[in-house]
Amino acid sequence: MAEEREFTSTEITRAYRTSGIREECGVFGIYSPAHENITEKIYYGLTALQHRGQESAGIAVSDTEGLMYNVSFHKDMGLVSEVFHKEDLLKLKGNIGVGHVRYSTAGGSTPENAQPLVINYSKGTLSLVHNGNITNADELRNELSSHGAVFHATSDSEVIASMIAFHRTRSAAVEEAIKKTAERLKGGYALIVMSPRKIIGVRDPYGLKPLCLGKISENGNDTYILASESCALTSIDAQFIRDIEPGEIITITKDGLKTDHLPAVDKKAHCIFEYIYFARLDSVIDNISVYGSRIKAGQALAENFPVKADLVAGVPDSGLAAAEGYAMKSGIPFRMIFKKNSYVGRTFIKPTQEMRESAVHIKLNVISETVKGKDIVLIDDSIVRGTTMKQIIKQLKKNGAGKIHVRISAPPFLHPCYYGTDVPTSTELIAHNATVDDICSFIGADSLGYLDVSDFQKMVGDLPICKACFDGNYPVM
Amino acid sequence: MAEEREFTSTEITRAYRTSGIREECGVFGIYSPAHENITEKIYYGLTALQHRGQESAGIAVSDTEGLMYNVSFHKDMGLVSEVFHKEDLLKLKGNIGVGHVRYSTAGGSTPENAQPLVINYSKGTLSLVHNGNITNADELRNELSSHGAVFHATSDSEVIASMIAFHRTRSAAVEEAIKKTAERLKGGYALIVMSPRKIIGVRDPYGLKPLCLGKISENGNDTYILASESCALTSIDAQFIRDIEPGEIITITKDGLKTDHLPAVDKKAHCIFEYIYFARLDSVIDNISVYGSRIKAGQALAENFPVKADLVAGVPDSGLAAAEGYAMKSGIPFRMIFKKNSYVGRTFIKPTQEMRESAVHIKLNVISETVKGKDIVLIDDSIVRGTTMKQIIKQLKKNGAGKIHVRISAPPFLHPCYYGTDVPTSTELIAHNATVDDICSFIGADSLGYLDVSDFQKMVGDLPICKACFDGNYPVM
Amino acid sequence: MAEEREFTSTEITRAYRTSGIREECGVFGIYSPAHENITEKIYYGLTALQHRGQESAGIAVSDTEGLMYNVSFHKDMGLVSEVFHKEDLLKLKGNIGVGHVRYSTAGGSTPENAQPLVINYSKGTLSLVHNGNITNADELRNELSSHGAVFHATSDSEVIASMIAFHRTRSAAVEEAIKKTAERLKGGYALIVMSPRKIIGVRDPYGLKPLCLGKISENGNDTYILASESCALTSIDAQFIRDIEPGEIITITKDGLKTDHLPAVDKKAHCIFEYIYFARLDSVIDNISVYGSRIKAGQALAENFPVKADLVAGVPDSGLAAAEGYAMKSGIPFRMIFKKNSYVGRTFIKPTQEMRESAVHIKLNVISETVKGKDIVLIDDSIVRGTTMKQIIKQLKKNGAGKIHVRISAPPFLHPCYYGTDVPTSTELIAHNATVDDICSFIGADSLGYLDVSDFQKMVGDLPICKACFDGNYPVM
Amino acid sequence: MAEEREFTSTEITRAYRTSGIREECGVFGIYSPAHENITEKIYYGLTALQHRGQESAGIAVSDTEGLMYNVSFHKDMGLVSEVFHKEDLLKLKGNIGVGHVRYSTAGGSTPENAQPLVINYSKGTLSLVHNGNITNADELRNELSSHGAVFHATSDSEVIASMIAFHRTRSAAVEEAIKKTAERLKGGYALIVMSPRKIIGVRDPYGLKPLCLGKISENGNDTYILASESCALTSIDAQFIRDIEPGEIITITKDGLKTDHLPAVDKKAHCIFEYIYFARLDSVIDNISVYGSRIKAGQALAENFPVKADLVAGVPDSGLAAAEGYAMKSGIPFRMIFKKNSYVGRTFIKPTQEMRESAVHIKLNVISETVKGKDIVLIDDSIVRGTTMKQIIKQLKKNGAGKIHVRISAPPFLHPCYYGTDVPTSTELIAHNATVDDICSFIGADSLGYLDVSDFQKMVGDLPICKACFDGNYPVM
């Protein structure tokens, strides 16, 4: 799926909405009981989660030293490194905080919808970060509106925050209000709420969206961290403790951790998309290594679609891990055959029609010497419209490559996702309009094989998964 | 040499001056006799040469349609994608043009020194792009000053341009003036001059700096291109023709190519640094593939420093090719064991002292599952201060790696370069202050081996090379 | 009051908070039944009201052509000309709209508090602009909070909007909801609400804040306009119709005008501050010309403090009109004796301590020839700290002026304003800490006279006025 | 000439080139023998000269403390307050300096042409600021080119600097080189050259361009200043000493002042345009007060074109002084009848065609009460296309004014200026295409009178003047 990962920010990602696989969000929360400033840690944690959303970024912190607390926040459209300058970080002082990177799946792409969402109500201030999609958000919004609620923007998050405030006004504790709210939410979500002196994390009962817990122990104090992926913990040298359980509500206060649960559902359903595309290679989610699962996808491809070849290569960066897996299983050597231009970034001007043919060369060049006279197994994680793969193969052949056997480390998408993952719609996907043979012929490959849905379980062992975008079986509506 | 390649632009590269290996420049020239607009091709060509300089970028074009010509240019500090916006490209109309990306080696780091240098003189307009360093620039500057010349900036390029103008005022043709000027230049250089209706390229007699020729043939017209590296040709779908010979002066006009030569020197001396560090992996320079030469460096390391291990890995991106070579020779599998965060770019805020220990985690994370219990051969292309490598090894061990055998695909630098390559000074390099054993112990490796200077010839066959920065034998002063 | 009017924008106006007289807000609303785009008219209307607030500016429009309506808005910190670029205006399409310029008197100085405030609720969208201060805002906020309302910012406007939404959810029409809300509001205010197909204006029952109605008749259609001051009507060539009455609720729909009234209060109280300082010279408010009232202030000064002199001059621009009045009454010629530098704007760097003495020269220079040997009556509208006036007089004397008789066209402030006008606090004002004689001596004048509170009525005829900031009699708390 | 003075910066001033009277440049130089930092003084001096050019601004300073000197400079397109931020001023450290504000009259409108021009040559560094136009610049450029000189930009200044460098290379002292250069220059000019330890000022032999000398005496040290106008001296509290004589070369060093002269010309010719339009009201040039000369122009109009009226008013700000003069002579009271909107600045969006009629209202509004039923003498300093005056009169009549008698305080332009003042070309001026009666009728006035060329001498006493743009008698070509 090389074509979806090249560009990195707002302007570009907007184009994806009509053309590619859309991404989701990353959330981060942290509590330092020793009153250390945690803003820098949020910044680096969000940088590690940047692959989960490049549209907007934000941080809210609460300074709870003393009798009063002080909540401050900063958020805007753009990458973490674009939104935050040194002076912004210096202004955000606090020992509790939440952070967010966003690629919108519901709600428009506007600054008003950037997170954290910070609201004031009769009981104080709530700061909320959210990854996922609430399928009954409109129903809840109408319900709250009928009680007189007023909304400034169009995000699910504002609905959740309003409902928490509604219950909190009538409840004893914010944890209770969050529980009452979460009981009403349908869909997949990972939420972190900062209620100035507490951090509360919630994961949907199916476990559709990931959330994990980490810890930094210094000078006898434990700073706890919640994050969408373990790579955010590693990046700040925190220790991974465990995944938050599906349906778990975890509360972090000065007294440590407290846990509660939403009513159980009969079957968990972790999102397979995290493993095959979305999560970072070095993360471990629900005890399954993302890297390991992709290695296994490559191995399954080697079993299902064996072929005689001189080398195995991956399209950078999305096909590399599965290529290693294919190589391990098949015994064919794994080689680097492309040079990717890392300077083709967000502000890069796209080629005019006249030079469109060259577009793929600008981003990706074949290392001629490696491919000359070689039969190649070429791995990527998807074929969207097929035009990029066609150009890559044309370039390989022009550089003297022999046969090109394409292997795709995921099955074609067939169904929309209702839980916050924007999979391409039918009409955008070549797989919907053509047989595997037709696609093979269109892209100019000598053979083509897709991973089968039945191989998913090999990738993740006995982890219960949601693979609705491939098979249409939705765990919750 | 991972630490030198992470950041990409002005502010950051300035830091390199005191801390790392400095980079040079990239030049590009193009002539369309069919009067097609070539600005977009220069933009993409420069993007492919961006690794040669991230400090400033510029394009000058000449529109020679009709009786008059019109020269326009745009240049500024920053990456190609930062300097040029769509409207800038639209304003630059021309069928002849030159482009430049720069990392300054002589002349201050100021907008005034950005190239192309465009001057007006009695015979019209000259636009000049230059890669390299003129060792007798001060002498030539004084000589021209004594004739009354006035200088606006401090670059070698202005000296060269002034001297060309000086001779052109007294000569028949601009090629002649360039030849007379080049006969006086000492040092290593690749020059491209646009004299509104011609493009003239010159390479120094030793062949220290690279320059090659390409062609796009469309509708019966040949558009010729000059570029520092062949990867710039590939990126715009041009055909590689040949390298410009050392001491060659090539003139491109509407009538095609014309060639002339500077007086020969007794011995050529191509820069080894281009192969081991500087040029892009997919370029071929003087008939030697950059990628192939690094593979051979890795193979030589495997021969010189064999070791028993479970896998071979490279520090991304600088150590990857040599790691492949080591793997091929040793039979130990080549594996990817790091995830590099591609969002850590130019505007990224560097960690405060308090979090400095985590700095390497933010950029580079170990994929835990791959390294647990494994003995590893770890390849990089240099060790500058040693602190980054020390952190990488610490992280590997923390993730359960067994023995770490470090192999460096180049010898330590011992001498300054006078030809436009900023190698680190003695005091900055750990290799100057410590034995190999001391370094091995400092970085926490289980063994350490450097490529030997005598292995260079294996990398490049019988190509005559300059390796003065390693052995102190300067071909020209 | 020359020192308060020199700088024009955010950064600078913030400084006023501690040092000078703070300004309020300007509101604007417009309805084109013929579906003409009214955005440009709002832009120019707000430009005419810019003197009422330079901290933020915003426009919200509704396009009601067809069955659906579409509300869009743009607002930010800065002057109208800084907030809106051509492309912003082009994006805002609508035939109904409201606009706002703001200098905050309640609520923090943040982008979140910029207006128009646009909210979504069960009955659609409300856009609100507001000038004034609600003295019981906290009480109302708590009341709404106790019903579960959630607030994103800290402005009075959000309280008003929430209360309108609250009542609208339970009422038949938005006009009714606005009336119920306004009945609860205490303080001085002029509100304009856009409820996508209507514009509703409300003025507080005391008439503390100004609001007037205008009309543009073209092709048989009447476009109605509401604005804080008549100068906004003139600037778009609209005809002034009448002032909105104290306590009036005026509704503009496609069917024209409809009017309603809040319960009457026993006594009207129009703000005298609008006439003496705040409103624009060419506005007419409640049938009193601002210019005329200042002329009368000058005449009253001439009566109360006659003196023999060669010329009368005003400190530009705040003292000019009263100077004309003094001249008319006294028969002494009115002359221009200062040149004001109009390039000393918002981004101007203020002098360092070392050059502080020269500060007044940079903004204001004496035209030497006019003052040499002349006795001068010098008029300004206030003396805040006295330092500027001291410098001006020093400069006049240096240029050879004879006697300087200072006349101030308003009495000293003695009491805070609770209705949205930030008068300086006691501690900031020289008048609180010194007698008139002391001040006269401090500034170096030969005589000094202040307008008496009893002269206000001469300025405005029989208009009932609030002059609480001078005499402490507050009409409503 | 109200329409030419409303907007203030680059984008806008460019429009003037085709539509109005173009402005020139302002120069400033300063020398502190006591080694005080003079950068802030240059900044404020340039701010006072801003009316002389809004296109670009720049400062170059030399720090001569100790044995070495250090020249630094900063310049860019824009107003002084836009080009210089606090950090820019802090970086410029020096006790000698020159500054410049520019509206280009020769040379394109590009950053390359911004001044000061700083060049390096065999004898060191020269920094040059220049106001005026050299009529034989092309001839001198070709002459220098034929000696091999190379030019980076297209300004006269570069020609002057090159010629100074040419002579300096062959002369004993920089003053000598400047004298030799100035002897070759034709046209009108005021030059200031900083040769790191000296400031040298030169004024053309006719005295076409103004230049004056000032002094600040502190702690026994005399800091000397050169500036285009005396208002720049006043703004930094410097004492005016005298005007530089036509043809004088003044050199300021640590030892004080030294003076020399160019060969005398038979007749001086000071530019009348400075008095009638260009210089600042509070400046005194060649012993004539600018304000005073405009008063006299108004008085002459009152003599030539007497009329019965109720009040005299000026179009702000260009017509105010002459209106005062008319009032003094005629005995008719001088009144302010317009409110000018000072927020209509550089980034203001101009009205679309649809609202073009309102354009003048946006900038200038009539104070209704003052004009109702009054016959008015209305003064401005020019009528360019006539459309603005037509709108103003229409607005006055709409507000109930009686008769409008227009008086213009200068004659119509009939000839181009070759000395650096961009007067409108014939085709742009209504006066070229119509009789006075026709213009009067076009603008809707009841009578119209222009100042006669013969009245100029009344304005400036016995000062010899150049009035070539009115009568075609050029003092030098």
Q: Which DSSP state fits A400?
A: T
Minimal CA separation from C56 to chain A, in Å? 17
- Tens-digit pLDDT profile for residues C94-108: 999 999 998 765 555
Distance of CA D37 to the CA centre of its chain: 27
Q: Is B10 on the interface with A (CB under 8 A)?
A: no
Q: Beta strands B70-77 and B465-466: pairing type? A: unpaired
- Best CA proximity match to A385, nearest among A424, A428, A426, A414: A428
| Residue written as token pair 């016995």 | D462
- Cβ proximity of D392 and D360 under 8 Å: yes
| Euclidean distance between CA atoms B9 and B78, whole angstroms | 6
In the predicted structure, residue A294 carries a pLDDT above the cut 70: yes
Q: Is C367 on the interface with D (CB under 8 A)?
A: yes
Q: Is C80 on the interface with D (CB under 8 A)?
A: yes
- In angstroms, the Cα distances linking C220 to B101, C31, C95 are 63, 15, 16
C25 as an active site residue: the answer is: yes
Share of chain B above pLDDT 90, in %: 65
Q: Would you call A146 and C169 a contact, using CB atoms and an 8 Å cutoff?
A: yes
Q: According to the model, what pLDDT value does residue C477 have?
A: 73
- Tens-digit pLDDT profile for residues A230-251: 999 999 999 999 999 999 999 9
- Tens-digit pLDDT profile for residues A51-101: 998 889 999 999 988 777 889 999 988 889 889 988 889 889 999 999 999
Nearest residue, CB atoms, B122 vs list D119, D121, D142: D142
| Residue written as token pair 């340039």 | D46
Q: How confident is the model at residue B67 (pLDDT cuts 50, 70, 90)?
A: confident
| Euclidean distance between CA atoms C251 and C257, whole angstroms | 6
- Tens-digit pLDDT profile for residues A99-123: 999 886 555 556 777 899 999 888 8
In the predicted structure, residue D396 carries a pLDDT above the cut 80: yes
Nearest residue, CB atoms, D150 vs list B146, B165, B170: B165
- Best CA proximity match to B136, nearest among B205, B182, B190: B182
In the predicted structure, residue B390 carries a pLDDT above the cut 60: yes
Q: Which residues of B touch D120 (CB under 8 A)?
A: 150-154
Share of chain A above pLDDT 70, in %: 90
3-class secondary-structure state, position B143: helix
- Pick the range with the lowest mean pLDDT from A322-326, B151-155, C338-342: B151-155
Q: Which residues of D touch B121 (CB under 8 A)?
A: 145, 148-151
| Euclidean distance between CA atoms B469 and B277, whole angstroms | 13
First to last CA, chain B: 29
Q: Is D432 on the interface with B (CB under 8 A)?
A: no
Q: Which helix (H) or strand (E) holds C376?
A: strand C376-380
String of DSSP letters for A123-190: TEEEEEEEEEEETTHHHHHHHHHHTT-EESS--HHHHHHHHHHHHHHHSS-HHHHHHHHHHH--EEEE
Q: According to the model, what pLDDT value does residue D18 have?
A: 27
- Tens-digit pLDDT profile for residues B437-449: 999 999 999 999 9
Q: Would you call C147 and A148 a contact, using CB atoms and an 8 Å cutoff?
A: yes
In the predicted structure, residue C461 carries a pLDDT above the cut 90: yes
| Euclidean distance between CA atoms C373 and C310, whole angstroms | 9
Contact residues for B338 (Cβ-Cβ < 8 A; gap 6+) = B313, B315, B316, B364, B365, B366, B367
Mutate to test the interface with D, among C4, C44, C392 (most CBs of D within 10 A): C44
CB pairs under 8 A between B and D: 67
Contact residues for D51 (Cβ-Cβ < 8 A; gap 6+) = C343, D23, D26, D278, D280
Angle at C114 between CA C112 and CA C115, to 5 degrees: 125
In the predicted structure, residue D361 carries a pLDDT above the cut 80: no
In the predicted structure, residue D418 carries a pLDDT above the cut 50: yes
First to last CA, chain A: 28
Q: Is C139 on the interface with A (CB under 8 A)?
A: no
In the predicted structure, residue B6 carries a pLDDT above the cut 80: no
Q: Would you call D150 and B161 a contact, using CB atoms and an 8 Å cutoff?
A: yes
In the predicted structure, residue A23 carries a pLDDT above the cut 60: no
Q: According to the model, what pLDDT value does residue A246 have?
A: 97
Task: Please indicate whether residue D138 or residue A294 has the higher confidence score (pLDDT).
Answer: A294
pTM, two decimal places:
0.81
- Pick the range with the lowest mean pLDDT from A380-394, B186-200, B295-309, D14-28: D14-28
| Euclidean distance between CA atoms B316 and C452, whole angstroms | 80
Mutate to test the interface with C, among D7, D337, D362 (most CBs of C within 10 A): D362
Amino acid at D269: A
3-class secondary-structure state, position B229: coil
Q: What is the largest CA-CA distance in chain C?
A: 74
Q: According to the model, what pLDDT value does residue B428 have?
A: 66
Mean pLDDT of C69-84: 89
In the predicted structure, residue D359 carries a pLDDT above the cut 90: no
- Tens-digit pLDDT profile for residues D291-325: 999 999 999 999 999 999 999 999 998 899 999 99
Mean pLDDT of C291-298: 97
Burial class for A474, CB neighbours closer than 10 Å (0-12, 13-18, 19+): middle
Q: Beta strands A404-408 and A447-450: pairing type? A: parallel
- Tens-digit pLDDT profile for residues C380-408: 998 888 888 999 999 999 999 999 999 99
Task: Please indicate whether residue B426 or residue C334 has the higher confidence score (pLDDT).
Answer: C334
| Residue written as token pair 């599965």 | A322
Nearest residue, CB atoms, A341 vs list B47, B320, B352: B47
Average pLDDT, chain D: 88
Q: According to the model, what pLDDT value does residue B422 have?
A: 65
| Euclidean distance between CA atoms D278 and D298, whole angstroms | 16
Q: Would you call D324 and C339 a contact, using CB atoms and an 8 Å cutoff?
A: no
In the predicted structure, residue D203 carries a pLDDT above the cut 80: yes
Q: According to the model, what pLDDT value does residue D427 have?
A: 63
Q: How confident is the model at residue D394 (pLDDT cuts 50, 70, 90)?
A: very high
Q: How confident is the model at residue D378 (pLDDT cuts 50, 70, 90)?
A: very high
Task: Please indicate whether residue C33 or residue A428 has the higher confidence score (pLDDT).
Answer: C33
Percentage helix, strand, coil, to 5, in chain B? 35, 25, 40
3-class secondary-structure state, position A375: coil
| Euclidean distance between CA atoms B435 and B257, whole angstroms | 53
In the predicted structure, residue D443 carries a pLDDT above the cut 90: yes
A residues 328-347 near B, CB within 8 Å?
A: 328, 333-336, 339, 341-347
Mean pLDDT of D374-395: 93
Minimal CA separation from C147 to chain A, in Å? 8
String of DSSP letters for B75-106: EEES-HHHH--HHHHHH---SEEEEEEE--SS
Cis peptide before A33 (omega within 30 of 0): no
Structure tokens at C353: 């301590």
Q: Which helix (H) or strand (E) holds A102?
A: strand A96-102
Q: What is the CA radius of gyration of chain B?
A: 23
Q: According to the model, what pLDDT value does residue D346 have?
A: 59
